[in-house]
Structure 1
């Protein structure tokens, strides 16, 4: 694994705009960065990223089966009691999942370490599945990369295949996100394009445009029933909405399904550690107040059970907080994870995002930051495989 300096495509910015990648720059700073790229060997990808991703995903599914059968664990994960039966039914009837992203610490040496599972509303999908593949093809064509360069990336193909399985050919497939979030809107548009390629009839709307008719069915702005809904909107927020009571009986199949609320909960990290202590890809983790071990921790990371894009995550020592990202989750219960900083390459900290579609590991995206905590503004950097 190496970080390589490369000459950017001279027209990448205009290409990004023409393809709808309008969030390539955030707050005046580059989000997409192709001045560098990460080079991997095929062995590193297959043995150190792909295989552990599928192993950990299987462990996570086993954990879901345990949690849905346990009121104690549902409570421990701070899942609202009103959601318990819906989640259990969702799992019992094997409601399908589309995708998720596992975040890893990996430097090419030794096992990748699992940070967390963005299993409900992960973004950086478009830039992984489409724009970095376009970058690879064009950089090879321009001679910036060797002819044999490849990429660990069948994300787009896998999404289309899975949407063909989940969706109903020729029938409306609704997609929704919040307003005024360019990255969410871009992710939604990308998935709508994939749905269309899968033979579905995508229809996009904002979450505040989702309604209920007099029969308690979810409907769109045209009063048409929303039979299937991909929602880029976290389940913990869904259960706080006034329409939450209609989730179970509203006639809508949600993607991601309700059982994904368990896997998007950082409380799975101490549960996984407790059941698989010493696993080479897991970091020690505990619920707050339950830290155990032979020696006191010198440094640790505190994470809210529900948090996104690094919000309210802090690095701490016995002396206090070393670094922290502010956010809206101050009142959320937290877990403690053993300190394992992301590796530094060229002065930047690197995070590996490994994508799962269905139950298959299908590709990766890389984020860089000057801080050890990856945030929504952290840069996206492409990768390639070359032995």
Structure 2
């Protein structure tokens, strides 16, 4: 694994516009950054990222199976009691999942095993740029000699998303919902709508705020038509906190992601995983903030809210001193304390690997760079290759 500086294409924004990648910049600063790329060996991908991701995902599913049978676990995650039945029922029915992203700290061969930082299992973004635009960048770079001949990319996302949607399409209609005025969310959902169309499904869009609830328990669209299956880029903890969230358990409407994903998208899961598999090479020791056992972490750790987004309310402490802190609106539900696995630094940038899971299969990666040790929504997306 190495960072390779390269000249960005002068017309990459035109490439992005043609490809429908409209959220490539934030307030004039690039989010997509092709002034460099990361090169991996095939062994690093297969042995250090792909296989550990498969193992970690399986461990997470084992945790869900345990959690749905133990109300004390669900309560420890600050999930409201009225949501327990919805979570249990969705797991016992075998409601399918679509995708998720494991965030890993990994610095390449010789740096030690990849460490799980968290699982974005419910509403992960960075999907379109991972699946499509970095692949187009690879093809263009090979065609114009900007990349070494024979380079490949760890990226089966698009094909597997289409196949997974075909498997989970139910009656053939899948409604997609997000906030219409959030560019990254809307771009992610628009991409998934396109995948659903390629899978042979009808795939209408519905703004989240337009979803209704009728007396028979169905969630309905703006015309009052029942929604059989709903993909919602809207977190389960927000749904369960809303009044209509109490209707989920009894509703015939099915969801992607299913309610059981609320267990995996909660950072309290990290403490439970460590208790299930202490010493696992790809886990960091983690404890709830009110657990005296957290003392074994000493004076270097990361404190994270159970529910949060984009690094908000994360605190990094190194040797007793605050190394980084991001403010935000989260933390009311509680915190976990996790062992410190500092992100590797390349050319002064902190690199975070996102390992994508589609269905139950590891399917690709994304890499984001930040100026500090906490990855926020201002981190830049940098493409990657497998270099022969």
Both proteins in one fold, TM over 0.5? yes
CA gap of 1:21–1:340, structure 2 versus 1, over 3 A, is: same
Deviation at 1:318, TM superposition (A): 7.5
What's the CA shift string for 1:82-124, capped at 9, x where partnerless? 0111111111111000000000000112210110100000000
Partner in structure 2 of residue 311 of structure 1 = 312
Which stretch of structure 1 is more off in the superposition, 175-184 or 82-91? 175-184
Paired with 2:217 and 2:114, the residues of 1 have a C-alpha distance of: 46
| TM score, norm. by length of structure 2 | 0.97
Quick check: 2:294–2:337 contact (8 Å CA) kept in 1?
no
Question: For residue 211 of structure 2, what is the aligned residue in structure 1?
Answer: 210
Aligned residue for 1:272? 273
- Distance across 2 between alignment mates of 1:221 and 1:294: 52
- Provide the secondary structure at the position in 2 that maps to 1:38: strand
Bigger CA drift: 345-354 or 240-249? 240-249
User: Residue in 1 aligned with 2:60?
Assistant: 60
Instruction: Return the alpha-carbon distance in structure 2 between the equivalents of residues 148 and 298 of structure 1.
Output: 46
Aligned-partner Cα distance in 2 for 1:217–1:266: 31
Whether 1:191 aligns to 2:192 is: yes
Alpha-carbon contact 2:287-2:294 (below 8 Å) kept: no
Secondary structure, in 3 states, of the residue corresponding to 1:201? coil
Find the counterpart in structure 2 of residue 146 from structure 1.
148
Q: State how 1:344-363 maps to structure 2 within 5 Å.
A: 344-363=345-364
Equivalent residue for 1:160, pick from 149, 159, 162? 162
Shift of 1:332: 2.5
Query: Structure 1 pair 311/295, CA: closer, same or farther in 2 (3 Å)?
Result: closer
Deviation at 1:20, TM superposition (A): 1.9
Kindly indicate whether the alpha-carbon contact (under 8 Å) linking 2:77 and 2:306 is maintained by their aligned counterparts in 1.
yes
Shifted more, 125-134 versus 216-225: the winner is 216-225
Q: How many residues of Structure 1 are paired with residues of Structure 2 in the alignment?
A: 386
Secondary structure in 2 matching 1:239: helix
Corresponding residue for residue 115 of structure 1: 117
346-355 vs 303-312, which deviates more? Answer: 303-312
Q: SS at the partner of 1:342?
A: coil
Could you give the per-residue CA deviations for residues 323-373 of structure 1, whole angstroms, max 9, x where no partner exists?
Answer: 211221131200000111100001100000000001100000000000100
Deviates more, 1:294-303 or 1:128-137: 294-303
| Offset at residue 320 of structure 1 (A) | 5.8
Q: Distance in 2 between matches of 1:58 and 1:319?
A: 35
Q: Deviations over 1:171-224 (max 9, x none)?
A: 321000124311000000000000000000100111101012243321111222
Distance of 2:257 and 2:297 partners within structure 1: 39
Q: 2:87 is matched with which residue?
A: 87
**How far apart, in 2, do the equivalents of 1:175 and 1:157 lie?**
19
Does the 8 Å CA contact 2:286/2:338 hold for their aligned counterparts? yes
Alignment check: 8 A CA contact 1:350 1:369 kept: yes
Within 5 A, what are the aligned runs for 1:1-387? 1-108=1-108, 109-168=111-170, 171-292=172-293, 297-316=298-317, 321-387=322-388
**What is the alpha-carbon distance in structure 2 between the residues aligned to residue 31 and residue 127 of structure 1?**
10
Identify which range, 362-371 or 292-301, moves more after superposition: 292-301
CA distance in 1, matches of 2:217, 2:344: 50
Contiguous gaps of at least 5 residues in structure 1: none
TM-score by length of 1: 0.97
Q: Cα offset for 1:296?
A: 5.5
How many angstroms apart in 1 are the aligned matches of 2:196 and 2:167?
A: 11
| Preserved contact between residue 297 and residue 339 of structure 2 (Cα < 8 Å) | no
Per the alignment, do residues 317 and 149 of structure 1 end up closer, same or farther by CA in structure 2, a change over 3 Å counting? closer
Structure 1 residues 294, 309: closer, same or farther in 2, change over 3 A? closer
Closer/same/farther in 2, CA of residues 222 and 105 from structure 1, 3 Å limit: same
| Alpha-carbon shift at residue 168 of structure 1 (Å) | 3.5
Answer yes or no: is the 8 Å Cα contact 1:148–1:386 preserved in 2.
yes
